[in-house]
Amino acid sequence: MRINKFIAQAGLASRRGADKLIEAGRVRVNGGVLLEPGYDVRPEDQVTVDGKPLSAPEKKVYYALYKPAGYVTTVSDPQGRPTVMDLVADIPERIYPVGRLDLQTSGLLIMTNDGDFARALMHPSSQIGKVYRVLIAGGISKEAVSRLRAGVDIGGFVTSRARVDLLHWDRHASLLEIEIHEGKNRQVRRMFKAVGHPVEQLERISIGSLGLGRLRPGKYRRLNPDEVRRLLGECHG
């Protein structure tokens, strides 16, 4: 990796800023002042800036976490509630959640330390499908299902077409699966409220080709390179 990128990835400066540090003679490689701005850093090199060692950039890692309800999807919570970070405390890399699930929503959450990957997945143009399982009180009408499919006004925004499957239906409760390609704040809850059925339980069961599989609530697993590549391939835009 080029020395300026190496310094930038360590969070010390932008690449241009790194070039200036090199020009100013503040960068040393294996003890000697670096004179060559295009130097390629080797894994065994010891790089210092102003005498302070830089560590190699963290390896990119990707995890699927089964978030239980009752955990906030933030890195820290001023109110002291349990956060998803508590569930991944033994992962050494500095990972963070890709997007978010509401406090009371459970299900699949991807976590990574790869900013480019997180941005690609979360960008509105990504259009990656997210499937939710939704439990509501009462029997849902055919008309309400049609409205969810066609798009509903959730207050200043009309949702685009969605796949909606009715899994179970009786007088007391309905269980549905909905696939959306947008990620507005509390979108699924707002969609069901708009058709007169506040959500009682909400769980995300997949993001693109990645499902919960055999994960148990509160547990995580590492994604393999194929899974990561496939997810990226499913992002449009």
Q: Which residues bind ligand URA (CB under 6 A)?
A: 101-102, 105, 186-189, 202
Question: CB-wise, 4 or 107, nearer to ligand URA?
Answer: 107
Question: CB-wise, 3 or 178, nearer to ligand URA?
Answer: 178
Question: CB-wise, 184 or 230, nearer to ligand URA?
Answer: 184
The catalytically annotated residue of 19, 77, 102, 165 is: 102
Three-state secondary-structure class, residue 58 = coil
Active site residue 102: yes
Shortest CB 185 distance to ligand URA, Å: 8
Task: Specify the residue for token string 């708009």.
Answer: 194
Shortest CB 119 distance to ligand URA, Å: 19
Q: How far apart are CA 221 and CA 63, in angstroms?
A: 6
DSSP letters spanning 13-82:
S-HHHHHHHHHTT-EEETTEEP--TTPBPPTT--EEETTEEEPPPPPP-EEEEEEPTT-BSSS--TT---
Shortest CB 196 distance to ligand URA, Å: 16
Residue 162 is encoded by which pair of tokens? 């969605």
Decide if 227 contacts 215 (C-beta within 8 A): no
Q: Which residues are the active-site residues? A: 102
